[in-house]
Amino acid sequence: MTNKIVIYTTCGSEEDANRIARHLVEMRVAACVSIAPGVRSTYRWQGAIEESQEWGLTIKSRRDLFARLADEVRKVHPYEVPELIAVPIVDGLISYLDWMDAELESPIDLP
């Protein structure tokens, strides 16, 4: 098991997706954010079943950065309750995992 995680979220527009992705990478809480258009979501919100076309974001980070990443997402995400789900990266190409570490905030730099 690695200390790396993948976090999923969605948003309602390409502009929001690009803004969120850039912000997370600039803050060094995400090494990479992949953006996928055409996500169709069906969910219950405030008592009604909703359906919406969304943009999916796949965020690559580290477990120790999740709380900070979540704070940063809440600052820039337009949704009242953004989806933010983290899953562990069990294993991966060592050179990619090392690259992630080089691009993320160092654990000794954390507040």
Rg for the chain, CA atoms, rounded: 15
Looking at residue 70, its pLDDT comes to 98
Residue 8 lies in a domain: yes
Place of tokens 């990479």: 32
pTM of the complete model: 0.92
Looking at residue 105, its pLDDT comes to 87
Residue 32 lies in a domain: yes
Residue 27 lies in a domain: yes
Neighbours of 96 (CB within 10 A): 13
Total domains in the fold of the chain: 1
Give me the CATH number covering residue 67. Answer: 3.30.70.120
Identity at 83, one-letter amino acid code? E
For the segment 27-77, what is each residue's pLDDT rounded down to a tens digit? 999 999 999 999 999 999 999 999 999 999 999 999 999 999 999 999 999
Output the CA torsion 109→92→41→36 (10° steps). Answer: 80
Residue 111 lies in a domain: no
